[in-house]
Structures are given as structure tokens and as C-alpha cells.
Structure 1
Amino acid sequence: MNSAPPPSSFDNDADFYEESRWQKLRRRIVEEPLIPLGCGLTVWALYEATKSMKSGDHAKTNRMFRRRIYAQGFTLLAMVAGSAYWEKDRKKRTEYNDLLEEKKKKDKRDAWIRELEARDDEDKAFAAMNKRLAEARSAEKKRLSEADARAVETKIQSDTTGIVRSVLEPGEGRRDSPLLNAAMKLWQAKSS
């Protein structure tokens, strides 16, 4: 047996679930026309009772007050009967409104999360850009320091051209040096 609730006549009517206050009032009057009728009869009875009091007709006044009580009773009965008759659709409407509110909250939360993710992506891109700039600056400083070091080294070399060099330093006549030849012979004698 199917446990699903029976379908409502308003299930496929989107206007039923999304309506303004005036649309709701009109729908309620169409759904339960006896309530406005009872209210109208009550107002009419009070109006007639007021007129008869001003004219001094006590019998008509009492009759109109009784009619007012009957009209109010009729209105109350119409309200109770209409409430019982439309109870299932009102429950469905309440469930739909709850679902709609939950969906709106979820959409709002999702939009907030998307905004946070976009901001996080921007922050990450900004941090990556700052990192690349810092690396470029340090590489530039390193290149400058290497260039400066080379410049200082060439300056030192140019200043020391007339200075005596070590025997082991590369330069002119290195192989012909008597000191170097003596050192090589000593080494070869030790290793053999």
C-alpha cells in the first residue's frame, strides 16, 4: 500500500504557494465564502440595531441584536468547518513555506561560501604574486652582488698585476719554475 499522502488540488499551482497578501485574502474569501458573508450579516444587524435605537423602536433593536448573535454564531461555525476542511492544504502550505525558507537559507549560505572562496583565491593569488616579487628581488640582489663581486675581483686582479704570485697560481712560466720542479720530484719520491 502506498504511504504517500493523497495529492492536493494545489500541488501543481505555483501561484498557490507564492502569493501576495491581497492574493491570499482573495483566495481565502473564495475558499471560505461563508465567513465574509457571516461578517457582513453581523455588521448589517449592528447597523440596523443602531438605527432602531436612534428611532426609539425597542422591539426592532432587540430583534437586530438577536440577529447579530445568530450571524456571529454562523460566522464561528463557518470558521470551524472551513478550518477542518482546509487543514491538509494548510499543513502542506506550512511545509512548503518551511522548505522554501530552508532553501533560501541554503542559497544564502552557498553564496557566502562562494564569496569566501573567491576572497581566499584572491588572497592566494596576491600571496603568490608577492612571493614571485620577493624571489625576483632576491635574484636581482644576488645578480647585483655577483656582479659587484666580479667587479671587485677584477679590480683586485688589475691592481695586483705587478705583484709576485705564488708558484701554484696559474700564470706565466709555471712549469718552468725551479721550486715547482723540486716539489714535484720530492712528491714522486715519497709516493714510490
Structure 2
Amino acid sequence: MAKDRAKAARDAGFDEEDLEWISSLRHDINEHQETAGEKFMRKLKSNPLVPIGCLATITALSVGLWNFKSGRSQASQRMMRMRVLAQGFTVAALIGGIAANALKSTAANEAADK
């Protein structure tokens, strides 16, 4: 198989060393695949307010629907308003986390350039 690649590279006008970086890149990519749990924990550590907002939204929605089913319209309306506030908090936390990560990466790039 390696001989086939070397022959194909020569036929295309490349030296075998010219394409060496591709195999090293493949090795680097396949070295460690992040699992879903690892990705979740990394995201949770970088922006912990988003899951808190999601949990608050789900809680307000659930309690509001329960109150609606039970016939308590005042409590249901209050919880639906809380849901909207929790959703707004979640969106604000998401945007804030994106902005913070962008500023952090910009600062890291500037420090690397110096």
C-alpha cells in the first residue's frame, strides 16, 4: 500500500517527502478523539452559566405546565414569565461566553506574536 502511494505521488509529480505532512496530520487528528462526556465537561468549565440557564428554563417550563394542567392559571402565567427570563439569561450567558472566549483567543494570539 505504501508503494502504491509512493508511485501515485511520483506519477503526480510529487516527492514522497512532500506528502509526509499529511500522514503526520492524520496521526495528530486520530491521536485523541474527544468523547461526548469530555466535550461536555470542557464546555461546562468554559461557560458554566449556560447549563444553569438551561436547567432554570426547563424547571420553569415544567412547573408552569404542571400548574396549567392543575388549573392554576395565575401560577402558570408567572412560571411562563420566569421561563422567558431564564431563556433570556441563557442567551445572554451564551453570548457572553462566546465573547469571553473570543477575547481570550485574541489575547493569546497577540501574546504569541510578541
Whether the TM-score (by the shorter chain) exceeds 0.5 is yes
Aligned to 1:42: 57
Higher RCO (Cα < 8 Å, 6 or more apart): 2
Quote the Cα distance in structure 2 between the aligned partners of 1:30 and 1:88.
17
Quote the Cα distance in structure 2 between the aligned partners of 1:20 and 1:89.
24
Aligned to 2:70: 55
Is 1:23 the counterpart of 2:38? The answer is: yes
Displacement, 1:55?
1.1
Distance 1:88 1:21, change over 3 A: farther
Quote the Cα distance in structure 2 between the aligned partners of 1:49 and 1:76.
20
With normalisation by structure 1, the TM-score equals 0.36
Quote the Cα distance in structure 1 between the aligned partners of 2:68 and 2:54.
21
CA RMSD, Structure 1 to Structure 2 (Å): 2.1
Letter in structure 2 aligned against 1:35:
V
Identity %: 35
Secondary structure of 2:57's counterpart equals: helix
Number of aligned residue pairs: 75
Quote the Cα distance in structure 2 between the aligned partners of 1:54 and 1:18.
45
Aligned to 2:85: 70
Secondary structure of 1:86's counterpart equals: helix
Shift >4 Å, 4+ stretches? 88-91
Secondary structure of 2:67's counterpart equals: helix
Deviations 1:101-134 (A, max 9, x none): xxxxxxxxxxxxxxxxxxxxxxxxxxxxxxxxxx
Displacement, 1:66?
0.2
Secondary structure of 2:34's counterpart equals: coil
Letter in structure 1 aligned against 2:69:
K
Quote the Cα distance in structure 2 between the aligned partners of 1:69 and 1:36.
16
How do 1:149-160 and structure 2 match up within 5 A? none
Quote the Cα distance in structure 2 between the aligned partners of 1:41 and 1:20.
26
Displacement, 1:21?
2.6
Is 1:33 the counterpart of 2:80? The answer is: no
Displacement, 1:18?
6.1
Pick the structure with more helix per residue: 2
